[in-house]
Amino acid sequence: MKLLAFPPPHPSADLASGKRLAFVVTEDWFFASHFLPMARAARELGLEVAVITRVRRHRDVIEATGAKVFPLEAERRSLNPMAAGYAAGRLAAILKAWRPDLVHCIALRAILIGGAAASMAGVARRVYALTGMGLLGARQDLVGRGARAAVRHLVRLIETPQTHYLFENPDDPRLLGLDPEDGARVTILGGAGVDPNSLEPGPMPASPPLKVAVVARMLWSKGIDLAVEATRLARERGADVTLSLYGAPDPSNPKAIPEQTLRDWADRPGVAWHGRTDDVAHVWRDHHVCCLPSRGGEGLPRTLLEGAACGRAVVTTDVPGCRRLVRDGIEGVVVPPDDPAALADAFMRLSADPDRVAAMGAAARRRVLEGFTERHVMEAVKNAYRSVLASGAQG
């Protein structure tokens, strides 16, 4: 499978001239942290861009791309159909007033609400960007399987012949009954991409100990507890390993780890919780290993891209998204999900072999440069926009 699967480019002349693109995303911080390159890609095509989102503190950074920002209050953790319907109605009113030629919905909730609103507003050209299945993807029980089937039905119900899908791994399209190799309808991106010039490898810190870090929202689904337990097991078996946790609980997520639990973990030998960081480059200068023992539901975690771009070995789990970037034994170590013993074994093996850690870090950097940079993502997204804009008339 090709690293980036996207439709063949269409002639760009006049396709985007005078056209408008509206992004629909639940939170301004989410757009600002992951999707500014997409806004820049649209601007490079000559599209007029708007971002419709819940506005908190990131309006300025979004507007700096040349995009307009339209506020839309919609609680992303609410599953109340009446609340979702009300949000879709308000969004439809914004779309009718601004009259975009293309609507780009980011993440599952925005796809469901934005797709419904686009139907109400008569906008047939759409891009649906699934950034992972979240809690639905992490659950492997009957409830999880039933929920995924329901989501597949709902998403396909609100698609049009002019809908193009963006995914971050080849597993997620199959969950929606789509072929990841169907370049006419599906683009597999390199996650959100990273800027390799702002995230550069630095010298490895001194060892021992092997310094492992997790940079993520502090959620149970991210496997933070597994990293803590694996560190305990590895240290009990004689490995000199430390674990640093960088991130904060997400109050809008039902799987947030309580702050007191994080503080209790930080009282254990070899474990530290530092809270949220805005300087991931500094984190990776001080650590050898980027870890994310996710339980699933990922698109392609940005934290893995950032750690890899900084030339750090990656330890992660065999779940969609994570296994897309990391090849076991090359860029890092891939272990089964929900297996702290296997994770501890990985820590032990790496702590005993600093040369292997350095070689994996160098391979991880090369992997990013091969297809996971912001520019790779921008060009793939521009091709998707060209494809949709060249498709049939609005319905």
Under 8 Å between Cβ of 168 and 329? no
List, for residues 199-255, the tens digit of each pLDDT value.
999 999 999 999 999 999 999 999 999 999 999 999 999 999 999 999 998 777 788
pLDDT higher at 394 or 190: 190
**Domains, in order of start, for the chain:** 20-193+373-389 (3.40.50.2000), 210-370 (3.40.50.2000)
Give the number of other CB atoms < 10 A from CB of residue 51: 29
Model confidence at 64, in pLDDT bands (50, 70, 90)?
A: very high
List, for residues 351-378, the tens digit of each pLDDT value.
999 999 999 999 999 999 999 999 999 9
pLDDT higher at 269 or 140: 269
List, for residues 91-116, the tens digit of each pLDDT value.
999 999 999 999 999 999 999 999 99
Those residues with Cβ within 8 angstroms of residue 362's Cβ, 6 or more apart along the chain or in another chain: 201, 311
Under 8 Å between Cβ of 47 and 68? no
pTM value > 0.75: yes
The vertex-68 CA angle with 64 and 70, nearest 5°, equals 125
Percent of the chain with pLDDT over 70: 89
Structure-token pair, residue 32: 């600002």
The residue whose two tokens read 């789990």 is 317
